[in-house]
Structure 1
């Protein structure tokens, strides 16, 4: 009889608990669903871009476009695939942490609920054994009105405590239900992410092989090889224009700031560009010969200034080319802000970092980019990974002060 009574009481408690917790769980699930949708939307954009370049590659093969144009499309597609795989890898690692936390929280909540249930069960059994007459007898057996008042307060507090315990059981139960929902959702999300990553890994592997086959074809074709050299020179001129544009914008910003702080009488004067500082008077200039290399290994392929190709033709390099294994990390040589992340035929993926005082560094021929425009970066912070061009696995690096090209070897530490 007593067990049946206890079970009945718990049935009522748990029924109320589930009804009370349903609204909170629905809200939590809706919020989580919104976060997942946002993440999936970002990944979907990457997939659409990958598909777009896949169509371009197929169309270029049908129309027999130049191998270099197809090479550009492969470069962009493999870069996007690497970004997608990286994002999926990060999601899997993040999910793994959240799954571990969800399991721990669930285990903790279940243990706490068990303890509360045992305590509450003992209380109910005690109440059943004593019966309601016990409380009345306790009050009537008081030897004074004051003692009766004290006992009445005690019984009221005891009753309130049981009500609090019942509410706590309901709260713990809701927490357990929520943790189970979160855990199930995370496990499902993890399975999908792992499955998708395997698929994208396979696609990336196939595309890298196709890219290498096309690279080999271009290297063996003298016309394509010479055309790539011309494209590289065109890319260098484009970067030069980009730097000039960035410097012009920075000069305008500095002039606007100067006008705000200038005395009222001088504000109507003709605007003049701020004079170029001497290298030694700038913060960045004092790092000359002390900057770390953008890659930790590699040999020079091309030096700053004049170089000669295989046919003996002279060409100008605005920076240096460093031979380095594909996928090597590329780091910023100093603190700064990412001014631009773009793709230029002949230079591949490219990052420009603004180091203030009109100093800029350029990192090109990247197979993957890890930063975005306007992002603050520290010296040694990873910007991306090196790629492979027609001239082999390498990266291109430039350093500018104002509109003046600088020889990077004069700024980097001696090796």
Structure 2
């Protein structure tokens, strides 16, 4: 039973090591992804001419860079906590294995001493022949055989335990070195974060001094957002109205058929259809598309192959003490980046919004919006598939930023796109 317990003990810790490896590799992947996103934003900021004043969009890039840096530090802290747990587990394992090894060696030493005292073949024979009957003699013979087998197994257990102990000691040393490296990396990231925050404060101070220019910039952005929102709502309301009329027409035709089949039956009450997004999923095809879109929440592909969210959804502070509302998210991406549909659907409308384009795609009662496009290669009414290219992002010539504005709506109501996209 002692060896069974030892086996279970070692198995549990080996399994824990496997789980640790999985968690550790996942944290490393997260850290590497954050590092790539930070480097992308760094590259974007370096491309901006030092002679130009940073715009609000570039301030958003700075804020995103700080946010990602904080997330990276948080990931490093998670790695350190995981290593602390593993160090504690491995330390306990080493102590337990050392104690187990000590007991095994003492037991083995006792067996060796007993075997030495009874190593004579004459003594063994006398032990067997001194039995009272044949049955007892047979049991004594089996005992001597089992004792020899047990000694050999005991020696194997000692070697195996020693090997496990050496492995755990090596793992423990590796854990401690990894922790030391992570602590150094964390200090470096904190120093860099402090510099980035100082840089942001400095640029915000410059913006505050240029109040008139800042107000014009904010006003321009709000007007663009209002125009886009108005155009989107108008297009969606037209879809709702068309779906409502279609549903009412189908209800009238069904009533007429029922009347023709049974003229004596009372006329059914006229069916009214509410003017809400629910009418967009009135047909089986639209209902299935809505259900499929909803079931993929959190798993939709990004509208660009490479990008970082620099402005989130909802109300938030814009650079300085100005509160604005964002109906979607703004994604910083590479110049000339291709934009792709996040789900299959129908192009409801391609819109020209003040020098750039926006594409509205319907997925049953849901819609996705892709705006700030330089060009589009889809048209009204066209069916698109997942990841199909629909256009490319425009780059602002005044500050060099390349931002895609992306929205998800249920009917006309905006939803947070971040919760729909794959992590």
TM category, shorter: 0.5 to 0.7
Equivalent in the alignment of 1:130: 118
User: Which residue number corresponds to residue 228 of structure 1?
Assistant: 218
Aligned to 1:349: 311
Distance 2:196 2:118 in 1: 79
Alignment match of 2:321 (pick from 382, 392, 396): 392
8 Å CA contact retained: 1:67, 1:214: no
Give the match's secondary structure for 1:131: coil
Shift of 1:228: 2.3
Q: Is the contact between residue 228 and residue 390 of structure 1 (CA under 8 Å) also seen in structure 2?
A: no
One of 171, 184, 196 as aligned partner of 1:207: 196
Report the alpha carbon displacement of residue 207 of structure 1 after superposing the two structures with TM.
0.3
Q: How many angstroms does 1:97 deviate by?
A: 1.2
Q: 1:403 aligns with which of 403, 412, 422?
A: 412
Equivalent-residue separation in structure 1 for 2:414 and 2:56 (angstroms): 28
> Is the alpha carbon distance of 1:130 and 1:339 closer, same or farther for their aligned partners in structure 2, counting shifts above 3 Å?
closer
Segment of structure 1 superposing worse, 218-227 or 60-69? 60-69
**Match in the other structure for 1:251:** none
Q: Alignment partner for residue 79 of structure 1, among 34, 43, 67?
A: 67
In the superposition, relative to structure 1, how do residues 395 and 191 fare at CA in structure 2: closer, same or farther (>3 Å)?
Answer: farther
CA distances 1:191-224 after superposition (whole Å, capped 9, x unpaired): 1111101000110111011111111221221212
Q: CA deviation digits over 1:157-215, x for unaligned, max 9?
A: 22232233222222322221221122112111111111101000110111011111111
- Cα deviations across residues 285-308 of structure 1 (Å, max 9, x unaligned)? xxxxxxxxxxxxxxxxxxxxxxxx
Structure 1, unpaired ranges of 5+: 1-24, 249-264, 266-272, 279-335, 352-362, 366-387, 407-415
Corresponding residue for residue 57 of structure 1: 45
Kindly indicate whether the alpha-carbon contact (under 8 Å) linking 1:50 and 1:81 is maintained by their aligned counterparts in 2. yes
Match of 2:133 in 1: 144
Q: 1:165 aligned to 2:147?
A: no
Q: TM-score, normalised by structure 1?
A: 0.53
Runs of 5+ unmatched residues, structure 2: 1-13, 239-253, 255-272, 279-295, 329-408, 416-423
1:45 is aligned to: 33
Partners of 1:40 and 1:94 lie apart in 2 by 12
d(CA) in 2 for partners of 1:213, 1:56: 18
How do 1:181-196 residues align onto structure 2 when only pairs under 5 Å count? 181-196=170-185
Distance (whole Å) between structure 2 residues aligned to residue 70 and residue 115 of structure 1: 67
Displacement of 1:62? 3.3
Post-superposition CA distance 1:68-102 (Å, at most 9, x none): 24313212221221121111111111111111111
- Provide runs of 4+ in structure 1 moved above 3 Å: 28-42, 232-248, 273-278, 336-343, 393-402
Inter-partner Cα distance in structure 2 for 1:81 and 1:64: 25
Deviations, residues 256-275 of structure 1 (Å, cap 9, x unaligned): xxxxxxxxx9xxxxxxx997
Shift of 1:405: 7.5
**2:166: which partner in 1?**
177
CA distance in 2, matches of 1:196, 1:171: 37
Normalised TM-score (structure 2): 0.52
- Quick one: distance in 2 between partners of 1:64 and 1:52? 20
CA contact (8 A) 2:63 2:200 kept: yes
Q: Give the drift of 1:141.
A: 2.8
Superposed CA RMSD in Å reads 4.6
Say which SS state the counterpart of residue 312 (structure 2) adopts.
strand
C-alpha deviation, 1:244, in angstroms: 10
Once the two structures are TM-superposed, the CA of residue 122 in structure 1 deviates from its matched residue by: 1.3
